[in-house]
Structure 1
Amino acid sequence: MTTQQQTLIKGGLVDVMGELVHADVLITDGQISAVGRRLVDEQLSGKVIDASDLLVTPGLVDVHVHYREPGQTYKETIHTGSLAAAHGGFTTVGAMANVDPTPDTPEKMNEMLERNAQEGVIHVKQYSPVTVGRAGKEVVDFATQRQAGAFAFSDDGSGIQTAGVMYRALQQAAATDSIVAAHVEDNSLTFGGVINAGDKAKQLGVPGKISASETSQLARDLILCQATGGHYHMCHVSTKESLELVRIAKEMGLNVTCEVAPHHLLLNDDEIVGCDSNYKMNPPLRHEEDRQALIGGLLDGTIDMIATDHAPHAANEKPHDDLLHAANGITGSETCFNKLYTEFVKSGIFRLEQLLHWLTDAPADVFKIEEAGRLAPGEPADIAIFDLKTPHVLSNSEYLSKAKNTPFTGDTVYGTTVMTMVDGHVVYQREDRK
């Protein structure tokens, strides 16, 4: 008779289907077998985790990360990226396709998925590019890519410049019940901009990027979404005008969803410190009125979820005082929950249940990841445990990503990750809990 492997998480504040309750969680052979008060099993042969004064949640879900493997492993690897995700409480992520070679055929997709499974310590889903080579010209075959295991389609890092290409992609999305996750940017309207156009760009003497570079292409894409019925997902919405377009599209019944990145919720362009390239990302930090609109868009349901856009770079690619030449992007996996909890939940702007919804079941539902985002009997034991009470200063020495390009280092936060479990196995554990 096979001995069952059991773990009991005792006494935590547990997120059970969107409701926070004090309960125990019993894990048996990698699955959640029971959730309830004072669970006692005299035959329990496994370990007991004391979660008193801690928050126990489903593993967080992030549908937007960049892992740089293959092709740029000096920035990040699947292994280091997934470790960083686990450090942030994430157990399922969607890896973008801007790697070299990009997985634009079933053979390359199979190789990528094997690599993700071998190297990742969490569940790493894989995007297919929308176009061959991410060149923006020839649409890949969605049906064969889906059959090979692609969970969605994106040329993220590049906007699709030709309307006909986006039209054909959305046609295929409709035919295969797939998602096109769009980086929305009209290159002809960027004018070499490196941060948001406005007073800050003028003050720093750098070219600004106008918000119309995002909203004009979004308007085009929403018309194409209406024409095809394909599922169109907007990555990292950043402007109040884009938000209003998405709101109107949803009211019209279009098959549209969108995400917002933590940094666009937390920062505006006035907060850029000098020419510090850790504040350079694409889309850029916008005006305070845009930031406030994004917060409102989450609260009223126009924005469906939060996704980090974790974008690691080597130190020489993010020189401290060179906005002009630095690469776009910041890391996000290890600072997402703790920064958002500290800034929005502790201040009363968001309820904890709302924040968890945007980071768990909302992305899982939209992207149809059936095995993620819920903590309930019969579900995989993908679990995160957080300390909401103890202040912690973010430091470079603790990051598990290869990259350190974030403006949040040195901030004091609450909501640090104590433990992350995937299929009942501990994949991250805070040092003081070992």
Structure 2
Amino acid sequence: MQNELVIKNGLVLLEDGEVRTDIGVKDGKINMIGNNLEGEQVIDASGLIVSPGMVDAHVHITDPGGGYRDEWEGYITGTAASAKGGVTSFMEMPLNQVPATVDEETLNIKYQAGENKLKVDVASFGGLVPFNLEGGIQELDAGGVAGYKCFLGSCGDPLITGDFQNVDDYSLYEGMRQIAKTGKVLAIHSENAPITDKLGEIAVANGETSMEEYVATRPAFTEVEAICKAILMAKVTGCRLHIVHVACKEGVEEVIKAREEGVDVTCETCVHYLYFATEELNAIGPVAKCSPPIREQKQQDALWEHVQAGNISFVTSDHSPCTPDLKDTEDAFEAWGGIAGLQNDVDILFDEAVQKRGMPLKQFVQMIASKPADLYNLDQKGRISVGKDADFVLIKPNSSYTLKAEDLEYRNKISPYIGREIGAQVYKTILRGQTIYSKGTGVTAEFPGEFIKK
């Protein structure tokens, strides 16, 4: 038999458009695409959309926790949520694990922590921090990271040895010079830390506690200023640049301008910026706290315009969960700033982009799969074409459900999407030809995922 698996009767999202055809899989790869294919196993995808599995380019897994964050999201639960959500591979950030991933030793600690715990494939970011400029960047490159990440906004806990740390201006400049030589991309969290930190201190001193007041301490200009600084440094150093989780239209506009000037820079936004708005945050509470913050409705509308115009390369979850106690407060300034969203990337984006706003399916695939795979050189991912990894998500359109806490695979069942009606469902997820989730039987008990090393 030429094919070990055949997916039949679905609407298949190929790179040049959607078509009703069959997909043949052998040895974990897409073996053939055509009509009337035969295989040892057949999956009937009638009534379903067959898309490349999503590549979520922004996910935080806290494994190992270093004795500080042991009850945060681990590889087992994080990759199970990924499988249930149709995300077949993701890029893992170099924080919030302890120690942070900043050199050969810590990268190997991370690889060891994930051994035999992955239900999906995982590529790694290496960190750029002030204390790894003497060889750490080169060690990470040799160790197989697919990209680098740094923070201009404040991050990390100075009381935790080995935690992540935001860069100063010199560290950013020198780090970009070194990363440029690797040819890999530097992804940057762009916020002006001195201003946002001081505005936060003033708000706390004034007794402010609400989510809307938290948003007010991180105005859009503080995001834009940091983006402009990063772009200037990229011009000087030649470093490839990616701006993560852009939350304002002005930030996207700076990226557009820089690209027109020949700078190699791209940007992403997140599902939550396209779904929630400041005006509803007081009612939702700190479960929706993140940074940059969720901005007002007019900013969300503008972000959607940029997504549909292709000015924002792709959309991610920025999955950054914590333990319940860190969200269980009425004081937004005390709460952990991170949103759990990995499991609801595909269903929400399909509903919001395709079903509600008419995004072409070809563009939907670019947004969730091919563009992030291309940026980070994940050359076996992101497309349904012969020779690529047989990674698929089967989506049932126009199939509403209400998300419940017990539906979540996360270690801690926290998400701002709980209670929301979502108009599409993930029915099956396949990694390299193996079903890792189906609506009927749930997430696989096996761990077929692998670390992707570049």
TM over 0.5: yes
Q: Name the aligned partner's letter for residue 333 of structure 1.
A: L
1:151 aligns with 2:146: yes
2:116 aligned counterpart, secondary structure: helix
Residue 59 of structure 1: aligned partner: 53
* CA–CA distance in structure 1, aligned partners of residues 219 and 167 of structure 2: 17
SS at match of 2:335: coil
Q: Does 1:429 align with 2:427?
A: no
Give deviations 1:179-198, integer Å, cap 9, x for gaps. Answer: 1111111211113549x9xx
CA distance in 1, matches of 2:123, 2:89: 7
8 A contact 1:113–1:126 mirrored in 2: no
- Displacement of 1:433: 8.2
Corresponding residue for residue 304 of structure 1: 313
CA 1:139–1:310 in structure 2 vs 1: closer, same or farther (change >3 Å)? Answer: farther
Aligned partners of 1:139 and 1:168 also within 8 Å: no
Q: CA deviation at 1:246?
A: 0.9
Q: CA deviation at 1:143?
A: 2.4
Alpha-carbon offset, residue 77 of structure 1: 0.4
Structure 1 residue 275: Cα displacement = 6.3
Structure 2 gap ranges (5+): 156-165, 444-454
Mapping of residues 63-102 of structure 1, within 5 Å? 63-71=57-65, 72-98=69-95, 99-102=97-100
1:133-170 Cα shifts (integer Å, max 9, x gaps): 6xxx8465322211111111113574745222111111
User: Displacement, 1:103?
Assistant: 2.2
In the alignment, which residue of structure 1 is the partner of 2:344? Answer: 335
Please state whether the residue corresponding to 2:10 is helix, strand or coil: strand
Aligned twin of 2:449: none
Secondary structure at the residue paired with 1:286? coil
- Letter paired with 1:381: A
Q: Answer yes or no: is the 8 Å Cα contact 2:404–2:419 preserved in 1.
A: yes
User: For residues 221-240 of structure 1, what are the structure 2 equivalents within 5 Å?
Assistant: 221-240=230-249
Give how far 1:117 is off. 4.6
Once residues 358 and 412 of structure 2 are traced to their aligned partners in structure 1, the CA distance between those partners, rounded to angstroms, is: 31
1:33 aligns with 2:27: no
CA distance in 2, matches of 1:363, 1:357: 8
Q: 1:180 to 1:122 in 2, by over 3 A?
A: same
Cα distance per residue 1:283-341 (max 9 Å; x no partner):
10112222122112222222111111011111111115331211011111111221122
Which shows bigger deviation, 25-34 or 291-300?
A: 291-300
Go from structure 1 to structure 2 and tell me whether the alpha carbon gap of 1:175 and 1:378 turns closer, same or farther (over 3 Å shift): same
Which runs of structure 2 are paired with 1:166-315 in the superposition (5 Å)?
A: 166-190=172-196, 191-193=198-200, 208-274=217-283, 276-315=285-324
Q: How does 1:125-144 map to 2 (within 5 A)?
A: 125-131=123-129, 138=133, 141-144=136-139
C-alpha change, 1:353 and 1:73, in structure 2 (3 Å) is farther
3-state secondary structure, aligned to 1:154 = strand
CA contact (8 A) 1:57 1:384 kept: yes
Looking at structure 2, the residues matched to 11 and 126 of structure 1 have their Cα atoms a distance apart, in angstroms, of 35
Q: How many residues align?
A: 421
8 Å contact kept, 2:211–2:285: no
Structure 2 equivalent of residue 348 of structure 1: 357
Gaps of at least 5 residues in structure 1 are none
SS of match in other structure, 1:248: helix
Query: Take 2:357 and 2:150, find their aligned partners in 1: how far apart are those partners?
Result: 37
Aligned counterparts of 2:283 and 2:54: Cα–Cα separation in 1 = 34
One-letter amino acid of the counterpart of residue 31, structure 1? K
Q: Which one of the candidate residues 380, 387, 397 is aligned to 2:389?
A: 380
Secondary structure at the aligned position of 1:257 is classed as strand
In structure 1, distance between residues paired with 2:34 and 2:212? 56
Say if 2:3 and 2:24, in contact at 8 Å, map to a contact too: no
- Larger relative contact order, structure 1 or 2 (CA cutoff 8 Å, min sep 6): 2
Quickly say closer, same or farther: Cα 1:139–1:358, change in 2 above 3 A: farther
Quick one: structure 1 residues 4 and 316, their matched pair in 2 at CA, closer, same or farther if it must change by over 3 Å? farther
Confirm or deny that 1:48 pairs with 2:42. yes
Correspondences of 1:110-125 after superposition (within 5 Å): 110-125=108-123
Taking the aligned partners of 1:139 and 1:393, their CA distance within structure 2 comes to: 50
Using a 3 Å threshold, how does the CA distance of structure 1 residues 49 and 36 change in structure 2: closer, same or farther?
same
SS in 1 for 2:94: coil
Residues 88 and 336 in structure 1, CA contact (< 8 A), matched pair in contact too = yes
Distance in structure 2 (CA, Å) of the matches to 1:292 and 1:301:
15
Spell out, residue by residue over 1:357-384, the C-alpha distance to the aligned partner (whole angstroms, 9 max, x if none). Answer: 1100010111111011011111111111
| TM-score, normalising length: structure 2 | 0.87
Q: Residue type of the partner of 2:100? A: T
CA RMSD of the aligned region, Å? 2.4
TM-score by length of 1: 0.91
Instruction: Answer whether contact 2:133 2:175 (CA < 8 A) is retained.
Output: no
d(CA) in 2 for partners of 1:132, 1:104:
10
Q: Which amino acid counterpart does residue 338 of structure 2 have in structure 1?
A: G
Question: Using the alignment, how far apart are the partners of 2:134 and 2:42 within structure 1?
Answer: 51
- Alpha-carbon offset, residue 399 of structure 1: 0.7
